[in-house]
Structure 1
Amino acid sequence: MTVVWREPKPLILASQSRVRQALLANAGLSFETVPAAIDERTIQRNSGLTKSDEIAICLAREKAREVSSRSPGRYVIGADQTLECENRLFNKPAGRAGAAEHLRALSGRTHTLHAGVAIVRDGKPLFEDVSVARMTMRELSGETIEAYLNAAGDAATASVGAYQLEKLGVHLFSRIDGDHFTILGLPLLPLLAFLRGQGLLSL
């Protein structure tokens, strides 16, 4: 695959998300993954933030900052995604029962995803962006929820909202308004625009 990253040392992605890794790889970016050693829920509580877009940016920044503290001179990407429905913030479900509860709460309603991304170098934030998508879930019967959870398996508990749109989660929706990359958890277009503006990409 063609690599468009110009720096001698690759980017660092402060995330273990395979979806985010695939997005960067498909865009021709050279990168390494270094998971951030932070407690997201504690940071969220201590921040005092209540708006989902601000929380997404805060967590993306703190992930990148923590990894940056261990990676001098490197460009570090942090990303986070929040889900809000009718003033309720959702986190990743705890087990199958939690996933079922999330799906019941989202069934027949429109929820909002905010995807935040930040770039930090030597502890200094260089770039931040948040994008939004609105997702309308179709009415789900108890039988449909059970069938989906049986088919999706562990993937249902791996993402906020208990679905992965790029997989079987697509069956749960009647309408989607927003950028594909935002839904997958990484606002790729503004990220690439920043890197390009810094002369870091060959395209």
Structure 2
Amino acid sequence: MSIWRGQQKLILASQSRARNILLENAGFDFEALPADIDERAVQQHSGRTAPGEIASLLSCEKALFISRQKPGQYVVGADQTLALGQRMFSKPAGRVQAAEQLGLLAGQVHELHSAVAVARDGKILFSDVGVARMTMRPLTENQIKAYLDQAGDAVTTSVGAYQLEGLGVHLFERIEGDHFTILGLPLLSLLAYLRSEKLLAV
């Protein structure tokens, strides 16, 4: 039995496996409908450069895109950015780029900005951004190669070339931040909003 109390099924505007699992584990019966938007074009057109603002913008755009197609339904959008100082990272295109990213992040502290938004009928009802600070341990070229050999194609599915819930945990020596934010969905603030709207049973 779902904890969701909305009249229509909740929609997650994301194909992220991690986000899907987070909502499933939280007891939601929902539908996943990835938003077909050009993220880089949206970002460039906005003129925004701050990682948190970009994540917030994209989470809102994803939620709005789907909500316009699904009248009356609550739609959750999410996005995550990774920044090392002023430099932002995107998902690596392949193994070579993944190795380059890991080489730059090794021994450094980078930030993950994870944003969530809720839309209904083409309007944003809620948005929030969480931040996590990630300290990656120093890594040699051989260690990076060994990691990439083990992780395989999964390194191209997330920014930074790692999934902390999997083999990526071996890359870190310190983590400061909310577990859900690290996985790409500030779940606690999302649940608090849905609860305030009497949309949850718990």
Band the TM-score falls in, shorter-chain normalisation = over 0.9
Q: Give yes or no for the alignment of 1:118 onto 2:87.
A: no
Equivalent position of 1:66 in the other structure: 65
Equivalent position of 1:32 in the other structure: 31
Equivalent position of 1:197 in the other structure: 196
Query: How far 1:179 moved relative to its partner?
Result: 0.3
For 1:80 and 1:105, locate their aligned partners in 2 and report how far apart those are by CA, in whole Å: 22
Q: Give yes or no for the alignment of 1:88 onto 2:125.
A: no
Equivalent position of 2:49 in the other structure: 50
Counterpart amino acid of residue 199 in structure 1: K
For 2:69 and 2:122, locate their aligned partners in 1 and report how far apart those are by CA, in whole Å: 9
Equivalent position of 2:101 in the other structure: 102
Equivalent position of 1:8 in the other structure: 7
For 2:86 and 2:170, locate their aligned partners in 1 and report how far apart those are by CA, in whole Å: 25
Structure 2 portions without partners, runs of 5+ = none
TM-score by length of 1: 0.98
Equivalent position of 1:184 in the other structure: 183
Number of residue equivalences: 202
For 1:7 and 1:88, locate their aligned partners in 2 and report how far apart those are by CA, in whole Å: 40
- Name the SS of the counterpart of 2:36 in structure 1: coil
Structure 1 portions without partners, runs of 5+ = none
**Once the two structures are superposed, what CA deviation does each residue of 1:145-184 show, in whole Å capped at 9, x if it has no partner?**
0000000001111100000000000000000000000000
Q: Give yes or no for the alignment of 1:143 onto 2:142.
A: yes
Query: How far 1:7 moved relative to its partner?
Result: 1.6
- Name the SS of the counterpart of 1:185 in structure 2: coil
TM-score by length of 2: 0.99
For 2:21 and 2:9, locate their aligned partners in 1 and report how far apart those are by CA, in whole Å: 15
For 1:16 and 1:110, locate their aligned partners in 2 and report how far apart those are by CA, in whole Å: 28
**Once the two structures are superposed, what CA deviation does each residue of 1:3-26 show, in whole Å capped at 9, x if it has no partner?**
110123211000001110110011
For 1:202 and 1:157, locate their aligned partners in 2 and report how far apart those are by CA, in whole Å: 37
Query: How far 1:87 moved relative to its partner?
Result: 0.8
For 1:123 and 1:98, locate their aligned partners in 2 and report how far apart those are by CA, in whole Å: 37
CA contact (8 A) 2:8 2:72 kept: no
For 1:54 and 1:163, locate their aligned partners in 2 and report how far apart those are by CA, in whole Å: 23
- Name the SS of the counterpart of 2:76 in structure 1: strand
Query: How far 1:190 moved relative to its partner?
Result: 0.2
For 1:85 and 1:112, locate their aligned partners in 2 and report how far apart those are by CA, in whole Å: 7
- Name the SS of the counterpart of 2:126 in structure 1: strand
For 2:5 and 2:67, locate their aligned partners in 1 and report how far apart those are by CA, in whole Å: 19
Deviating beyond 4 angstroms after TM superposition, the runs of 4 or more aligned structure 1 residues are: none
For 1:56 and 1:92, locate their aligned partners in 2 and report how far apart those are by CA, in whole Å: 14
